[in-house]
């Protein structure tokens, strides 16, 4: 016999969890929440991702706003792909044939919950070849229309708008390594100068379709490797930034985005290498460790 569904979560069950600590810290008035999520971490949800979005909408209420990353990882330069890499003789073919960004058609590679959210009435998707976001609710238009090609991590970009609005971050079964707001701290650290001196390794090219044809635009100082973000979780927990709770079977993190960004900036101002990963083959972190780490990588 195959696997038996021995626990089933309804919208009511999920909402009940969301009304408990720590999710009950959500401000009552016009809350804004960025949701990072793994649907399967919750267990069997009756109605799947759609049910989760309905529960989240009820939780934030009529004045609330939900924001979901809706990244399209394939809209990037195939020369930089690693999982898996593209054989050199195919790079040009892949590069030429990547479809143009379309807010309706472009894939959402961040999971079932953002994909379901994109189908809800009133859902807006920002225009960015690989870094778009979806928003639903009162402040959706403000957040989505803030998107430009180069400002994903600047104060006037979508995540910066969430910071302005004093929003929150909910990670459903995911951890800091997929918490996009951490990239704001990377960019805003060092008194607003960002970690520019490390940024020579943090460049990506994205396809932009213009009347003149396809252009590949180099974006600098965008988010770097995020695998190492989990290294500072114990510090953030000790400082009371991250709280933990359960939704269904999912282990969740909940935090004010400002607290997260501001504390991470403090950590980075003390140690600009605090968020680098330990993979000796990482094309971003490994050269940075070699150049600035003076052997420290082996410390952890």
165 or 277, CB closer to Zn ion? 277
Options 126-134, 177-185, 230-238, 278-286: segment touching Zn ion (CB under 5 A): 278-286
Interacting span for Zn ion (CB under 5 A) from 123-131, 232-240, 276-284, 289-297: 276-284
> What six digits make up the tokens of 280?
């000796």
Q: Is position 277 an interface residue for Zn ion (rule: CB under 5 A)?
A: yes
CA–CA–CA angle 180, 182, 186 (5° rounding): 120
Of 65-73, 163-171, 206-214, 280-288: span binding Zn ion (CB under 5 A): 280-288
Cβ proximity to Zn ion, 126 vs 226, nearer residue = 226
CA–CA dist 45, 34 (Å, integer): 21
Q: Which residues are CB-neighbours of 251 under 8 A, at least 6 positions away? A: 41, 173, 244
* Closest approach of Zn ion to the CB of residue 224, in Å: 7
Least distance (Å) between residue 50 CB and Zn ion = 35
Contacts of 154 (CB under 8 A, 6+ apart): 160, 187
163, 285, 288, 289: which one binds Zn ion (CB under 5 A)? 285
**Least separation in angstroms between CB 24 and Zn ion:** 36
Q: Which stretch of DSSP H or E encloses residue 255?
A: strand 250-256
State the nearest-atom distance from the C-beta of 226 to Zn ion, in Å: 8
Minimum separation from the CB atom of position 121 to Zn ion (A) = 39
* Cα–Cα distance for residue pair 112/6, rounded to 1 Å: 22
| Contact string 221-260 vs Zn ion (x = CB under 5 A) | ----x-x---------------------------------
275 binds Zn ion (CB under 5 A): no
| Contact (CB, 8 A) for 118 and 125 | yes
Q: Which residue stretch of 88-96, 155-163, 238-246, 271-279 sits at the interface with Zn ion (rule: CB under 5 A)?
A: 271-279
Does the bond joining 99 to the residue before it have cis omega, within 30 degrees of 0? Answer: no
Cβ neighbour number for residue 104 with a 10 Å cutoff: 6
Site for Zn ion in 145-184 (CB under 5 A): none
Q: Of the two residues 125 and 187, which places its CB atom closer to Zn ion in the complex? A: 187
What's the min distance (Å) between Cβ of 241 and Zn ion?
Answer: 22
Cα distances from 80 to residues 77, 169, 206, 286, in angstroms, run 6, 29, 11, 15
Find the shortest distance in angstroms from Cβ 51 to Zn ion: 35
DSSP string, 101-150: P-TTTS--TT-HHHHHHHTSTT-EE---TTT-EEEEETTHHHHHHT--SS
Q: Which residues bind Zn ion (CB under 5 A)?
A: 225, 227, 277, 282, 285
């Amino acid at each position: 016999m195959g696997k038996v569904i021995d626990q089933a979560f309804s919208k009511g069950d999920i909402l009940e969890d969301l009304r408990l600590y720590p999710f009950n810290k959500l401000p009552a008035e016009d809350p804004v929440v960025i949701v990072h999520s793994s649907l399967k971490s919750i267990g069997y949800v009756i109605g799947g991702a759609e049910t989760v979005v309905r529960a989240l909408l009820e939780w934030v209420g009529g004045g609330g706003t939900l924001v979901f990353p809706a990244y399209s990882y394939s809209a990037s330069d195939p020369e930089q792909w690693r999982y898996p890499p593209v054989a050199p003789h195919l790079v040009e073919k892949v590069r030429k044939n990547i479809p143009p960004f379309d807010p309706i058609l472009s894939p959402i590679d961040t999971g079932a919950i953002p994909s379901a959210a994109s189908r809800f009435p009133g859902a807006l998707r920002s225009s960015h070849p690989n870094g778009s976001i979806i928003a639903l609710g009162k402040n959706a238009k403000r957040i989505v229309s803030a998107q430009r090609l180069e400002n994903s991590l600047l104060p006037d970009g979508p995540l910066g708008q969430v910071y302005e609005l004093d929003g929150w971050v909910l990670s459903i079964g995911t951890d800091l390594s997929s918490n996009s707001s951490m990239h704001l701290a990377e960019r805003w650290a060092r008194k607003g100068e960002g970690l520019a001196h490390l940024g020579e390794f943090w460049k990506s090219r994205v396809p932009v379709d213009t009347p003149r044809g396809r252009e590949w635009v180099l974006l600098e100082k965008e988010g770097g490797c995020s695998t190492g973000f989990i290294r500072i979780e114990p510090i953030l927990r000790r400082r009371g930034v991250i709280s933990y709770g359960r939704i269904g079977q999912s282990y969740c993190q909940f935090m004010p985005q400002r607290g997260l960004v501001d504390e991470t900036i403090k950590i980075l101002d003390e140690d600009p290498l605090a968020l680098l990963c330990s993979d000796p083959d990482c094309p971003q972190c490994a050269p940075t460790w070699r150049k600035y780490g003076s052997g420290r990588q082996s410390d952890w």
